[in-house]
Amino acid sequence: MKRILPLLLVAAVLAGVVLYRNHLQEAPADESALTLYGNIDLREIRLAFNEVEHVREVRVEEGDRVKAGQILATLDDATARARVAEAEARLAAGRQRLARLEAGSRPEEIERARAELAAAKARARAAQDTLKRLEGLLKRKLVSPEDVENARSLADAARAQARAAAASLRLLELGPRKEDIAIARAEVAALEAGLRLARQRLAETRLVAPVAGVVRRRLLEPGDLASPQVPAITLARVNPVWARTYVPEPLLGRVKPGMAAEILTDSAPGTPYRAWVGYVSPTAEFTPKNVETPELRTRLVYETRVYACNPDGGLRLGMPVTVRILLDAPQAARRPDCGDE
């Protein structure tokens, strides 16, 4: 019995230590802040060309920091430039056709039509006079009926030509039809859209960084055939980054999106990064195996993302960090300005 008592005493001490450690893990040591642990994650953008063409130039290397709007790579643009030139020529011709219709008939064209009408009327009068004269001669049987019939046909044709000349003059005076002008305007609009498309396709021969970040992978080289299905460059957004951490279910009510926080690293524990709670998962899950001990893996937790500005690039992908959510601090803005985005 005397031998068992020391063993029971040691077991009681160990049990107390275990309970105390569990209490420390379940409740924050500092009531003004909730301390969590996680790893840095970031968003990755896979950039691809919209055109199927050979790569002409790649201007960045892996690890380069790039700014939004910076050209990363280019394609051979000879075909795209030719399409732009063709579209510009077609548009110029279409605009000239529209301008001609909108300007209407020229005074010289109207004057010529009037002259042609006068000439047609003169021919019609002459043909009619000839017909009358032959009809008089026919009564005296000085001409044959065939001559009179031919003269009548010529007179009818001359009158028809005069009417046609009058109609042509009327059309010139009225100018183009409104429907024709509307059609010409629609054609010009279509040609303008075609030119914009050609210029857009020319612009898409350049791969531009949509945001600031770091080049993670250079997947195509000069001479490779690019296509929309093949990423050319992988870009990582490094500002802001976010720490993936997990809040235990008993503490969930104390954490809300927008709360101020800070992130600390092992390499610079005295220099916290300003941060804010950006997302709290609406669904529970078991603690990931790579986060906690086997005893805690069966506990329900909620994934939480804590965002941070990363001006010096010190927060890197996969880095283990300590996250402190400031429970008593005023609520931070949902999206602080990180400066170099």
Contact by Cβ (8 Å): 41, 241? yes
pLDDT recorded at residue 56: 96
pLDDT digits (tens, 9 = 90+) for 194-209: 999 999 999 999 999 9
d(CA 286, CA 289): 9
Asked whether residue 59 carries a pLDDT value surpassing 70, the answer given is yes
Torsion from C-alpha of 90, 93, 95, 100, nearest 10 degrees: -160
Q: Map residue 34 onto helix, strand or coil.
A: strand
Give the tokens for residue 26.
């379940």
Check residue 232 and give its pLDDT.
Answer: 95
Q: pLDDT at position 154, please? A: 85
Q: At what angle do helices 78-103 and 178-203 cross, to 10 degrees?
A: 160
**Structure confidence at residue 302 (pLDDT):** 87
The arithmetic mean of pLDDT across residues 181-205, rounded, is 94
Report helix angle 107-139 to 145-174, nearest 10. 160
**Percent of residues in the chain assigned helix, strand, coil, to nearest 5:** 40, 25, 30
Determine the topology of domain 46-78+200-233 in CATH.
Answer: OB fold (Dihydrolipoamide Acetyltransferase, E2P) (2.40.50)
Q: Are 216 and 45 in contact (CB under 8 A)?
A: no
What pLDDT sits at residue 290? 53
Return the percentage of the chain with pLDDT > 70, whole number: 80
Query: How many residues are given for the chain?
Result: 341
Answer yes or no: is pLDDT of 335 > 80: no
Rounded to the nearest integer, the mean pLDDT of the chain is 81
CA 199 to chain CA centroid, Å, is: 14
Q: Is the pLDDT of residue 213 over 80?
A: yes
Instruction: List the single range of 71-75, 104-108, 267-271, 310-314 with lowest mean pLDDT.
Output: 104-108
More confident site: 130 or 209: 209
User: Domain boundaries in the chain?
Assistant: 46-78+200-233, 84-199
Q: Which two tokens stand for residue 66?
A: 């790039």
Q: Which helix (H) or strand (E) holds 191?
A: helix 178-203
* Distance between CA atoms of residues 314 and 324, nearest Å: 17
Q: Which tokens belong to 140?
A: 């005296």
User: What gap in Å lies between CA 163 and CA 119, rounded to an integer?
Assistant: 12
In degrees rounded to 5, what are phi and psi of residue 18?
Answer: -60, -45
Higher pLDDT, 188 or 124: 188
The predicted pLDDT at position 27 comes to 44
**Predicted pLDDT at 18:** 45
Task: List helix spans (H) across 27-144.
Answer: 78-103, 107-139
Region 317-328: mean pLDDT is 87
Ranking 161-175, 189-203, 207-221 by mean pLDDT, the lowest is 161-175
d(CA 232, CA 72): 10
Per cent of the chain over pLDDT 90 is 32
Q: Are 256 and 61 in contact (CB under 8 A)?
A: no
Q: What is the pLDDT of residues 285-319, one digit of tens each?
A: 766 655 554 544 547 888 899 998 888 778 888 88
Q: What is the pLDDT of residue 85?
A: 96
Phi, psi of 284 (to 5 degrees): -85, 160
Residue 187 — pLDDT band, cuts 50, 70, 90? Answer: very high
pLDDT at 9: 52
Q: What is the pLDDT of residues 10-51, one digit of tens each?
A: 455 455 544 444 544 444 445 678 888 999 988 889 999 999
